[in-house]
Amino acid sequence: MLTSYIPLILMVLFGFAIAFVFMILSEWMGARRVTREKITTYESGMIPFRTARERFSVKFYLIAMSFIVFDIEVVFLYPWAVSFNWLDSAGFWAMIIFIVILFAGYYYELKKGGLQWD
């Protein structure tokens, strides 16, 4: 039973080993030139002109939540696509209904102006 997990354990160990080696190599071989531009705060390529404690618009949070909701919904499509060959017509129609509901929610949000950034 445990032998079926050996490839997975080896893959995880190999991934951690590669990540560790790359971190050490980047620290060892990386350039160490500190300039004023490198130590400044980077915000979308814009020079920061206000404090970080400023309040954001509610619209920002609504768009962020919408992105997370639709992003998570798309994640559900991946296992369905992988197992599509083994599903019968009930699985197909269940996903079609899911996609229709997803697009209905997207259309509703689009019509309500939830994606308009002012």
CATH number reported for the structural domain that contains residue 25 in this entry: 1.20.58
Is position 85 within any domain? yes
Smallest Cα–Cα separation from 60: which of 115, 1, 7?
115
What is the tens place of the pLDDT at every residue in 54-96?
Answer: 777 777 888 888 888 888 888 888 888 888 888 888 888 988 9
Tokens 């160490």 label which residue?
A: 32
Mean pLDDT of the chain: 84
pLDDT at 30: 82
For residue 93 the two structure tokens come to 């129609």
pTM score, whole prediction = 0.48
Smallest Cα–Cα separation from 14: which of 26, 6, 2?
6
pLDDT at 47: 67
Is position 46 within any domain? yes
Domain range for residue 52? 2-112
Is position 117 within any domain? no
Is position 50 within any domain? yes
Tally of domains in the chain: 1
Is position 69 within any domain? yes
Is position 118 within any domain? no
Which conformational region is residue 45 in: left (phi greater than 0), alpha (psi within -120 to 50 degrees), or beta? left
User: Confidence band (pLDDT; 50, 70, 90) for 23?
Assistant: very high
Is position 64 within any domain? yes
